[in-house]
Chains A and B, each alone.
Chain A
Amino acid sequence: MKRILNLTVTASLVIAFGVIAKAQSGGNVLIKNATVMTAAKGTLENTDILVTNGKIAKIGKNIAAPANAKVIDATGKYVSPGIIDAHSHSMLDAINEGSLAVTSMVRTRDVIDPKDVAIYRALAGGVTSALLLHGSANPIGGQSTTVKFKWGRPADEFPIEGAPPGIKFALGENVKRSNFTPQAGQTPRYPRTRMGTMEVLRDAFRRAKDYKQSLDDFKAGKTKVPPRRDLELEPLVEVLEGKRLVHCHGYRSDEHLNLMLLADEFGFRIATLQHALEAYKIAPEVAKRGTGASIFADSWSYKLEAYDSIPYNGYILWKNGVLVSINSDSDERMRRLNLDAAKMEKYGGVPEEEALKMITLNPAKQLGIDKRTGSIEQGKDGDILIWNVHPFSPYSHVEMTLIEGDVYFDRAKDIANREVLAKEREALEKLDMNKAPGAGGTPPRIPAERRIADRDEADRGDNR
């Protein structure tokens, strides 16, 4: 019973808080006397950060507070850049368009839900930006969206202006539909093998080239009827032209290598290998192409095609000069990416700042948003976390999360607000429309403990 009561309170507080935290864009704030982990230029003791109109204006000691700035005393506290999750399916009302092998026409931007409570929970764990990816049901999935978690703001304020567009590719078990039995009367979707997957990719890029040719022919007056604008091939033309980043899900390194060879053939670069749990086997090949790796800190051997993954994957990749980031692919794990970064220090000994970069500056570079965010440097966005202790400590928690100088999570306010929300819930539950029916009624919802938190294998037949 107590457990249920706790659940009630926690659930309600996180759902409601955003309404109270009224954010404006471009805040003015002075953070005083913190230990600042810049993720670029080392750690600075007893340092102040001034954010003006959302941008970091000054980093130094004893900065005087401008009249309009909110002053936060961070004495004894740690400050880091906001965490960036380079693989997320949060705030998406649908993750997979798995009906076809190529669904480059679909856009995650069309289905973002700015009220997904996972956003608020992510803010409480220090995540300020994320790459919202299509699922891994097909070789070429949909277009991604790079967002800042501006909880409480309307949907159109989430996508980061100027972030390069992206697209999800996928290889391996999910694409082959190895773990999915077709429903009665359904033909299994092609491809069913890894070689079929490569064929689908090659075919798609050949079609994209033909499409580009047909557009050029029309422009040159060689044809009379304007070609059909093809939303499936348009983004692939952008990939060929280097205007759209490819983020490719895969576990086995032979497949990832094959993909990079295909990209060589068509003359483009893969932006990131996603998951890449055994990419240590091909680390020099990855580094040579300037391709990034976005990995899990653990999940070693969690399924067959992840069998060869090892704890030292991240370290070996980093040692070989690969741009490494650590992602969550999960609403739940997203909340403690700081501890995943700490694991890089433990297994192999990645230096502290390099480990911190793996959840901040490196993903920012992989997503092409490092001019704006990812480290605490003058001129960048004020995407800043204040921690109670060192973020790699298991006792750490985020005290405050700022995006562009505006506070989007404040632990103290959150705690104070729980009682208010509990009261609101109590009042709402008394209303007629919220009362359980006297008799009968539908079965209740499944308790949270039994729900699936990990959305990696998101195509479980539902859209959530």
Chain B
Amino acid sequence: MKLKLFLYAFAAMSLFGALANGQSLAITNARIVTVSGSVIEKGTVVVRDGLILTIGADAKTPADAQVIDATGLTVYPGFIDALSSAGLQARTTTPAPGGQGGGQQAAQQAAAQAAPSNSNYGFGIRPEVSAVDDLRGGDTQFDAIRNAGFTSAVTVGRTGIFNGRSAIINLAGDSVSAMLIKEPYAEHISFTTVAGYPGSLLGTFSALRQMLLDARRLEDWQKAYAANPKGMKRPDDDKSLEALIPLLNREMPVVFNANTENEIVRALDLAKEFNLKAIIAGGQEAGKVAERLKSQNVPVLLSLNFPKRTAAANPEADPENLSTLRFRAEVPKTAARLSQAGVKFAFQSGGLTAMNDFFVNAGKSVENGLTKDAAIRAMTLSSAEILDVSDRLGSIETGKIANLTIVKNDVFATDRFVPYTVVDGKLFEQKEPVRAPVGGRGPGGQRGGGANPGAAAPAAAMPAVANVAGTYNITIDVPGQVVSGTLVLTQQGDVINGTMTTQLGVTQIRNGRAFPDGFAFAAAVEFGGATIDIAVKATVTGNILNGTIDSPQGAVPITGTKLP
């Protein structure tokens, strides 16, 4: 009966698919890397209704299918970015008024006033915050990341100690609900600080510990009250604490942003103390604690944002610490070390702004001892396994979600190009740009793929970019302090250059680009003895600048006014 119904539904859907045009797709003459099985040197992948229908050297092409001749191309399962902020709008910062009272109670009262609804916690310490609430539908927002080869990603904000609950999404879809694969996926925690308490790393651990203890007590109290409320004070329901209960019960993983050995050890200690289902994100020194990761069965979402020196050469400067020099040199070896030690890991972008570096750095991991197969797996099936979605993503198998990445040339080589991606069965095409003779932009740049399969890519009429040149007085709202300074921009076409001056020093901007409504650039600042890569994106309306600064430590708002 069930089978019959299923077949019936299937037939109806197929019919609908055919009528709806383009719901069936065949990629022929392709080299197929299934990841779960062996490589098919020349074969066909058929996709229907958003799912993979058949694969094989002699898989039949349905009569109604749109055919992509992939001669000379390789089909991979759609690549997964195991941690990103894809599709998220920057959250507005509303720091709680600092806890300056005589005790913790005063601080909590202040936090309670600042927090809406039934949470007694302030900005940055609210685990119930969910990435899904900040997502919007639409394909074009993901053009750049999809053109680099990604079809799905874990996405979550990066502010506060609790970054909040992440979602696993497909990188296309008309609505948020259509994009979602799994939500909520995990709670994400950063060892950082907030305005007021905790205002230092010391307090961060104590605050986490107290909240987890309070959440455990709340659950017990709720149960006792549900069983017999008579004569018992009712539990003080707090949605921030309630959001921690699934963590304590190992129903939801906890992703710790921990990059250095110290951070990873601290995360592992905390996970052990509260029996959390932990995952390490960042993990660039995870190779040094591989044995412990293995014994605690903790996987790693390994950042491919490899560190490099950003400080200018200066004969008067201190030499860099040997430990810093070693750290940078060791990072490309981490993947191989984890692989050898049997620690599960998946690659993630780690805040990379140029997504092509993801593959360049995955390639460096291969040069440093990781097998190519393991590298591919770390962006496909291993990721899906860690994310607990390997029943629907991560390999080219019948019945899985039709996410495919079709690559020209070696996937780790610099001439790698992604002419097609398939997301939920929908084909996206990217035309290879004509290379400029000198200094041309690399493949996978800003040019979006047509959402309309088969149709010629729309003539890329370059929209007029805003004139953003000038001097701005800027304010950066770092939790706990407000940093002010000056931003000086010069502009030539859509290329911008200039400097940003704050109390942290003068910073030369890099990769500056102007857009129709604003600009973006990257820079590196020295803070607390470390170099931090930041990505600035802002809109300019009249003389008002509004935007965000994204860094591995989180995103903070930047505002400013252009001087006349």
Which of B221, B306, B524 is A433 in contact with, Cβ under 8 Å?
Answer: B306
In the complex, the answer to whether B103 meets A189 with C-beta atoms within 8 Å is no
Q: How far is the CB of A37 from chain B (nearest CB, A)?
A: 35
Which of A95, A186, A421, A437 is B312 in contact with, Cβ under 8 Å?
Answer: A437
Residue B354 at the chain A interface, CB threshold 8 Å: no
* Chain A residues whose CB sits within 8 angstroms of the CB of B104 once the complex forms: 100, 102, 232
In the complex, the answer to whether B103 meets A99 with C-beta atoms within 8 Å is no
In the complex, the answer to whether B206 meets A110 with C-beta atoms within 8 Å is yes
In the complex, the answer to whether B202 meets A433 with C-beta atoms within 8 Å is no
In the complex, the answer to whether A15 meets B206 with C-beta atoms within 8 Å is no
Residue A399 at the chain B interface, CB threshold 8 Å: no
A187 to B312, CA, bound (A): 39
In the complex, the answer to whether A464 meets B328 with C-beta atoms within 8 Å is no
In the complex, the answer to whether A11 meets B322 with C-beta atoms within 8 Å is yes
* Chain B residues whose CB sits within 8 angstroms of the CB of A231 once the complex forms: 206, 209-210, 213
Given contacts A224-B231, A440-B508, A448 and B99 within 8 Å (CB-CB): no
Residue B203 at the chain A interface, CB threshold 8 Å: yes
* Chain A residues whose CB sits within 8 angstroms of the CB of B331 once the complex forms: 433
Which of B100, B266, B318, B322 is A444 in contact with, Cβ under 8 Å?
Answer: B318
In the complex, the answer to whether B206 meets A444 with C-beta atoms within 8 Å is no
A77 to B505, CA, bound (A): 51
In the complex, the answer to whether A434 meets B200 with C-beta atoms within 8 Å is no
Closest chain A residue, CB of each to CB of B98: A186
The residues in A between 95 and 136 inclusive whose CB is less than 8 angstroms from any CB of B are: 95-103, 105-108, 110-111, 113-115, 117, 134
Residue A445 at the chain B interface, CB threshold 8 Å: yes
Given contacts A437-B312, A445-B311, A190 and B102 within 8 Å (CB-CB): yes
* Chain A residues whose CB sits within 8 angstroms of the CB of B314 once the complex forms: 443-444
Q: How many chain-B residues does the 8 Å CB contact rule pick out?
A: 71
In the complex, the answer to whether A431 meets B202 with C-beta atoms within 8 Å is no
Given contacts A155-B262, A445-B318, A463-B528, A203 and B102 within 8 Å (CB-CB): yes
In the complex, the answer to whether A11 meets B319 with C-beta atoms within 8 Å is yes
* Chain A residues whose CB sits within 8 angstroms of the CB of B321 once the complex forms: 11, 15, 117
Q: Mark B120-132, 1 if CB is under 8 A from A, else 0.
A: 0000000000000
Binds A, one of B164-172, B191-199, B250-258: B191-199
In the complex, the answer to whether B318 meets A7 with C-beta atoms within 8 Å is yes
In the complex, the answer to whether B505 meets A443 with C-beta atoms within 8 Å is yes
Residue A446 at the chain B interface, CB threshold 8 Å: yes
A224 to B225, CA, bound (A): 11
Which of A1, A102, A110, A433 is B307 in contact with, Cβ under 8 Å?
Answer: A433
A61 to B392, CA, bound (A): 76
In the complex, the answer to whether B210 meets A203 with C-beta atoms within 8 Å is no
Given contacts A100-B103, A440-B510, A228 and B529 within 8 Å (CB-CB): no
Q: How far is the CB of A83 from chain B (nearest CB, A)?
A: 25
Closest chain B residue, CB of each to CB of A16: B322
Residue A2 at the chain B interface, CB threshold 8 Å: no
Number of residue pairs A-B, CB distance < 8 angstroms: 226
In the complex, the answer to whether B201 meets A93 with C-beta atoms within 8 Å is yes
Binds B, one of A159-167, A298-306, A331-339, A422-430: A422-430
Which of B200, B322, B325 is A94 in contact with, Cβ under 8 Å?
Answer: B200
Q: Mark B318-336, 1 if CB is under 8 A from A, else 0.
A: 1111110110110100000
The residues in B between 103 and 119 inclusive whose CB is less than 8 angstroms from any CB of A are: 103-104, 107
Given contacts A434-B328, A443-B311, A428 and B322 within 8 Å (CB-CB): yes
Given contacts A100-B104, A440-B508, A441-B310, A107 and B328 within 8 Å (CB-CB): no
The residues in A between 413 and 456 inclusive whose CB is less than 8 angstroms from any CB of B are: 421, 424-425, 428-429, 431-437, 439-448
Which of A101, A105, A155, A434 is B210 in contact with, Cβ under 8 Å?
Answer: A105
Closest chain B residue, CB of each to CB of A139: B102
Residue A62 at the chain B interface, CB threshold 8 Å: no
Main secondary structure of the interface of A (DSSP, over half): loop
In the complex, the answer to whether B311 meets A436 with C-beta atoms within 8 Å is yes
Which of A11, A183, A190 is B481 in contact with, Cβ under 8 Å?
Answer: A183
Q: How far is the CB of B109 from chain A (nearest CB, A)?
A: 12
In the complex, the answer to whether A99 meets B199 with C-beta atoms within 8 Å is yes
A107 to B198, CA, bound (A): 13
In the complex, the answer to whether B100 meets A433 with C-beta atoms within 8 Å is no
In the complex, the answer to whether A433 meets B508 with C-beta atoms within 8 Å is no
In the complex, the answer to whether A107 meets B319 with C-beta atoms within 8 Å is no
Given contacts A183-B482, A187-B98, A190-B102, A225 and B233 within 8 Å (CB-CB): yes
Closest chain A residue, CB of each to CB of B263: A93
Residue A221 at the chain B interface, CB threshold 8 Å: no
* Chain B residues whose CB sits within 8 angstroms of the CB of A142 once the complex forms: 202, 206
* Chain A residues whose CB sits within 8 angstroms of the CB of B322 once the complex forms: 11-12, 15-16, 421, 424-425, 428
In the complex, the answer to whether A1 meets B315 with C-beta atoms within 8 Å is yes
Given contacts A93-B262, A110-B205, A188-B100, A447 and B528 within 8 Å (CB-CB): no
Which of A114, A190, A463 is B100 in contact with, Cβ under 8 Å?
Answer: A190
In the complex, the answer to whether B199 meets A200 with C-beta atoms within 8 Å is no
Residue B531 at the chain A interface, CB threshold 8 Å: yes
A100 to B102, CA, bound (A): 7
In the complex, the answer to whether B323 meets A115 with C-beta atoms within 8 Å is yes
Which A residues have a C-beta under 8 Å from some C-beta of B? Answer: 1, 4, 7-8, 11-12, 15-16, 93-103, 105-108, 110-111, 113-115, 117, 134, 142, 154-155, 183-191, 200, 203-204, 207, 224-226, 228-229, 231-232, 421, 424-425, 428-429, 431-437, 439-448, 462-464
- Other A-B pairs, 18, CB within 8 Å; known A97-B203, A447-B318: A95-B202, A97-B199, A98-B200, A99-B98, A99-B107, A103-B206, A107-B202, A110-B206, A155-B265, A190-B100, A190-B101, A225-B232, A225-B233, A232-B104, A425-B322, A428-B326, A445-B317, A445-B318
Closest 10 CB pairs of A and B: A444-B317, A441-B312, A440-B508, A436-B313, A99-B199, A94-B201, A110-B205, A106-B202, A428-B325, A97-B203
Q: What are 15 A-B interface contacts by the 8 Å CB criterion?
A: A11-B321, A15-B323, A16-B323, A94-B202, A106-B202, A110-B202, A134-B202, A142-B202, A203-B103, A229-B217, A421-B322, A428-B326, A431-B325, A442-B507, A464-B529
